[in-house]
Structure 1
Amino acid sequence: MRSASRDARAGTVSRAAPAPRPTRGRRPRARRAPPLALLVPALAGAALLITPLAALVAAAPWADLPRLATSPEVVQALGLSLRTATVATAACMLVGVPLGWVLARGDLPGLGVLRALVTVPLVLPPVVGGVALLMLLGRRGLLGRHLDAWFGVTLPFTPAAVVVAQAFVALPFLVVSVEGTLRATDPAVEDAAATLGAGRWYVVRRVTLPRVAPGIAAGAVLCFARALGEFGATLTFAGSFPGTTRTMPLAIALALERDPDAAVALSLVLVALSLAVLVALRGRWVGGVRA
């Protein structure tokens, strides 16, 4: 009788306490107020970045902004910037994704030196990059003189030179993003696919690339934004010819000498475009990764 009553009470308890349901996803991390020693310099850093943009907005000639932003020169420069930045980003994707993969997963001698050289354009003054491109691809450059003599191809001061200059300064953003994403991805799934008989190219195409796609997309968007705002290397290597090589940043620099209000208006257009690109990046990819 006692054992039967114990079994009955145990059954009652088990029915009264159902098994906990599995939770979906990860619980959001609790947010805490930062310490004052971090909050003060953080606000100072934010002010350093935001107040110049606020000053730009305050100085904008809002009444004349539609007229200035839709002038033929601005439309021409903006169209050229968008076209060349798109082509430069596509070229960077073609070589940057494999380069990031090699840096993250390759087993080759000298990878540390290669990584340092690849990231040099991140800290190199853009004008120096333009001079380096001239020394390589100019009519008397290391490679350019052969292109001119053998094929009659001259790159400097052409739209192709704009693309090359933009790709030179923007490629490291894509490579660093792809390499960081690959390093943060556990290769165990790829190893499992390989042990099940999948070929190396199949693993890269069907396992690795889908897993690192958000990082690749983020790097591509940053690459596009950097190419869109390139100034120094473009001016040095491609010049500033209307309709041919004068991109939006070059048009802003020229307008600053003639009409400061026009320069402010064009700067606002470029800032708005860059913000739209970055907001699209965060909303679609950063949020998706966190989810």
Structure 2
Amino acid sequence: MTDWNAFLPPVFVTIKVSLLAGAIVFVLALLTAHRMARSRIRGRSAIDTMLLLPLVLPPTVVGFLLLVLFGRQGWLGQTFEMLFDRTIVFTWGAAVVAAVVVAFPLAYRTMRAGFEGVEKELEDAARAQGANEWQVFRHITMPLAGRSLTAGFLLGYARGLGEFGATLMIAGNIPGRTQTLPTAIYTAVDAGRMPLAWAWTAAIVLLSFAMLFMAERFNTRSR
């Protein structure tokens, strides 16, 4: 029998973290993907590789680098503490940072492909009719790339749901605060609480399946 008092907190933390991370990833990936899809700047391949790097790095490596950057001795950590008089490591905000970093490459790659699939001639035709850049982006580019953008958000959200290594490194595993479903499952298995581990596993499998299913539907319809 599942202990609901123990079961629910990691579920709520995971949903809260992944939703906020998904929203941040959507905005960052949208702007970056559009810029990279339409730019011909020097070093574009190197920049693109750097943006995709967290996709292939071990999560513990990503977590270590984030800990160095956002720790009390890191320049981002010192800046955050100076501005807000608090640290970010080992808070649920740190879990959001970890989810954003690991989810961004997947969302970015999907969105960039969507923007690259939009015919530039259509955008040029709109400009020739007097449309400004915002109008072109809103009325031409966004609708035509819309399914890829939605798929990118869903894939990024699903990736954020399953983040473990980087989250554990920078946010820890504090019940009710930073303990997400992946870290909760690890703790439950280590403690021999298998029914609870199975319940959490079922929850994250269902959430991930729903996101991936919707992303695949959008991708299929856009072909």
TM-score normalised per structure 1: 0.73
Deviations 1:35-69 (A, max 9, x none): xxxxxxxxxxxxxxxxxxxxxxxxxxxxxxxx32x
State the Cα distance separating 1:276 from its structure 2 match: 1.7
User: 1:204 — aligned with what?
Assistant: 137
Out of 157, 160, 168, the residue aligned to residue 235 of structure 1 is: 168
Alpha-carbon distance in 1 for matches of 2:82, 2:99: 25
Quote the residue 2:201 is aligned against: 267
Unaligned runs of 5+ in 1: 1-66
Q: Which residue of 2 aligns with 1:248?
A: 181
Instruction: Tell me if the contact between 2:63 and 2:168 (Cα under 8 Å) persists in the aligned partners.
Output: yes
CA contact (8 A) 2:148 2:222 kept: no
**Aligned residue identity for 1:212:** A
Partners of 2:98 and 2:166 within 8 A in 1? yes
Aligned length: 222
CA distance in 2, matches of 1:174, 1:118: 11
Deviations 1:236-263 (A, max 9, x none): 0000111110001110000011223432
- The reply on whether 1:131 has 2:77 as its aligned counterpart is no
The counterpart of 1:140, out of the listed 54, 70, 73, is 73
| Contact 2:106–2:155 under 8 Å retained in 1 | yes
The match for 1:159 is: 92
Tell me if the contact between 1:77 and 1:248 (Cα under 8 Å) persists in the aligned partners: yes
CA distance in structure 2 between the aligned counterparts of 1:101 and 1:144, rounded to whole angstroms: 30
Assess, with a 3 A threshold, how the Cα gap between structure 1 residues 74 and 109 changes in structure 2: closer, same or farther. Answer: same
Say if 2:188 and 2:197, in contact at 8 Å, map to a contact too: yes
Conserved? CA contact 2:117–2:145, under 8 Å: no
Paired residues of 2:7 and 2:196 also in contact (CA < 8 A): no
Please report how far the alpha carbon of residue 150 of structure 1 lies from its aligned counterpart in structure 2 after TM superposition.
Answer: 4.9
Deviation string, structure 1 residues 121-163 (Cα, Å, up to 9, x no partner) = 0001111111111111111112212332454131000111010
For the 8 Å contact 2:22–2:156, the answer to whether it is kept is: yes
Q: In the alignment, what sits opposite 1:179?
A: 112
Letter in 1 for 2:93: A
Distance 1:165 1:197, change over 3 A: same
Instruction: Quote the Cα distance in structure 2 between the aligned partners of 1:274 and 1:249.
Output: 12
Which of 212, 223, 227 is residue 156 of structure 2 equivalent to? 223
Query: What's 1:118 paired with?
Result: 51
Match of 2:26 among 84, 93, 112: 93
In the alignment, the residues of structure 2 paired with residue 151 and residue 276 of structure 1 have an alpha-carbon distance, to the nearest angstrom, of 37
What SS does the aligned partner of 2:204 have? helix
CA RMSD in angstroms comes to 1.4
Tell me which stretches of 4 or more aligned residues in structure 1 moved more than 3 Å.
none
Matched-pair contact (CA < 8 Å) for 2:154–2:215:
yes
| Greater C-alpha radius of gyration | 1
Please state if 1:80 is matched with 2:13.
Answer: yes
In 1, the alpha carbon distance for the partners of 2:122 and 2:183 equals 48
The question of whether the paired residues in 2 share the 8 Å contact of 1:81 and 1:228 is answered with: yes
Q: Report if the CA contact (8 A) 1:74-1:251 is conserved.
A: no
Residue type matched to 2:199 in 1?
A: A
- Alignment gaps of 5+ in structure 2: none
Q: Distance in 1 between matches of 2:6 and 2:199?
A: 13
Change over 3 Å in CA distance of 1:142–1:193 after alignment to 2: same
Q: Which has the higher contact order (CA 8 A, sep 6+)?
A: 2
